[in-house]
Amino acid sequence: MKAPVFIKKSCFAVLAVTLMALLVVSCSDDKEKIAKTAPVKTVFNPFDHSHDGTVTAVEKHKFEDAFAAQCVAREIKNSVNKDSDAESAAKPCSCIAHHMVKDLTDEEVEKYLTEHENPRSLQIKFDAAAYHCTQAPVANKGFTIFNAPKPKEEKSFFNKFF
């Protein structure tokens, strides 16, 4: 029986492809690839503050004072009565500065104190601190969730007289 031409050609093609694959794999040299590759660079992550330097208490205090003073100056800029407005703006501004100091990075302190810049991260922290500091406390006047209403006492006819 004679094999069809198609089967002969396909067997020859499979044999040729296998031979080429074996030659390509056997000719590779891993040692040269390792020596030629560049060192891996880490990708900058702006939210990863684990490698940042620590901010000292003196720098935090300088930042807090400078930021509170700038906040008060910004609030009384177009004010008519600057003295009374400065007193009323001092408390929220110091609260905002105090909340911002809690999670400062050394880059933010450096940009603010030495370069006199306000990075976007400081603006975000300012917005969050301003929301926290300017909210009026909600007064709970005797209302608690867990108190059940007291049952009404039934007054009998004789309790009215005594």
pLDDT tens digits along 69-86: 999 999 899 888 888 888
Helical axes 106-113 vs 120-134, angle rounded to 10°: 90
Task: State yes or no: pLDDT of 39 exceeds 80.
Answer: no
pLDDT tens digits along 78-119 = 888 888 888 988 999 999 999 988 888 888 888 888 888 888
Going from N- to C-terminal start, the domains of the chain cover: 57-134
pTM above 0.75, yes or no: no
